[in-house]
Amino acid sequence: MQATQHDWYAVLGVQSDASQETITRKYREQLLKLHPDVRPAEEQVQANDDVALLNLAYEVLGHEGRRREYDRERQQAATPPPSPGPPPPPPPPSVVVEPTGADYGAVLVGCLPADLQVVIHLSDGSPISACELVTSEGQFWRAVLLPGTATTLMVLLRCKPLSKGAAPGVHADELRLRVEQTDVVVPVTITALKARRSSDQRAQRQHPVLTLLTWVLCLLGGLLLVRAHGWPTEQSAARYCVRPTDRGKTLSYFRVEGNASESTAPAVWKLRAGNTGRDQFVYWWTPAVGYWERANVQPGLVRDGWTYGRYEYVEVRVNDRAGWQYLDAVLGERQSPLDSATERNQRERFLTDWIGNLDVERCSPSSQA
């Protein structure tokens, strides 16, 4: 039923709460007033339209069922639709932790594994305005909040030596942070191992004859090698030679091929001239890494409240503008200029092998740099 085209109550001239008897009486009064028979000739067309509209009004209001339906539709048309209101606010960005857990792996009691890094950012890439360490130290680790970018933070986890009484197996702890009013929990685990006497040593202790036979075989093998190659000499044991380069600013070390005074290019590593380990730091450069690095020579170096053993504090100079930077901070950058595996390999070779060859003899002048 179309209830909004005309107000049938107004057509009949009654109120919306009028009784059925009132509606019937008003209809008859209006019909006698508007009928064409009582109106002049020039109003006949209008009279027919008025009577037709009057009949439609009475057809709706004069029937109780149709009147109830009309009243309902009339009420609905008069009620404005509810306002949709403002859209709901978007959900806050979530905190992303990479990796989701920090595991030092299997470590012998008394040894220290490499530091671990945890990178934190928001899911929508927005800047981080607040971050704090709720727990800065755990059972076997210490946390340091390193400077990052506007959208990224980095937490460095340094392992503490496990006590000799630490039980073998997995030890679990939690690093807790609060980032943008959100509590973040990062599991930290380490597997403690204790050195045991090898099965070979137990077997040798149980079988002395086998031990004696092993020594005899080793002695015979050594004699055969000496007979084939001769006894090693100081000259044959030398592996490197050194030459000043870069107008005397650096010392370049070359691998020796045959004669101790002859070298082959390129240089294996470089050292700052005048730096042989007596300074606070030892400086080195390798072509595989491409940047100068340095490590503390004497144990007991203190940086940011931490005490480092010999060669434990390492810095790298990626460019002159940034200066010397903590190595772990550079490796933790999203687009780090260093390859961590290559850098670690070259650093370990220098600090365990090459640093013991700093006082080798000079290369011959005929050698190529």
pLDDT: which is higher, 205 or 82: 82
For the record, the structure tokens of 90 come out as: 């978007």
- Could you state, in order of their start, the residue ranges of all structural domains in the chain? 8-78, 95-193, 235-357
pLDDT mean across residues, the chain = 81
Backbone φ and ψ of 326, nearest 5°: -60, 130
Residues in the chain: 369
For the record, the structure tokens of 45 come out as: 């067309």
For a pLDDT cut of 70, what percent of the chain falls above it?
Answer: 81
**HEC profile for 147-193?**
CCCCCEEEEEEEECCCCCCCCCEEEEEEEEEEECCEEEEEEEEEEEE
Beta bridge partners of 158: 142
Residue 233 has pLDDT above 70, yes or no: no
Which residue has tokens 């209830």? 3
Q: Say how far apart CA 144 and CA 314 lie, in whole Å.
A: 16
pLDDT given at position 362:
84
Residue 107's SS3 state is strand
pLDDT given at position 234:
40
What's the CATH number of domain 8-78, 3.40.980.10, 1.10.10.10, 2.30.30.90, 1.10.287.110? 1.10.287.110
Quick one: 95-193 is in which CATH superfamily? Immunoglobulins (2.60.40.10)
For the record, the structure tokens of 369 come out as: 């740099």
Q: Say how far apart CA 230 and CA 275 lie, in whole Å.
A: 37
Q: Which residues contact 326 (CB under 8 A, 6 or more apart)?
A: 146, 314, 315
pLDDT: which is higher, 143 or 167: 143
Residue 237 has pLDDT above 70, yes or no: no
Model pTM score = 0.39
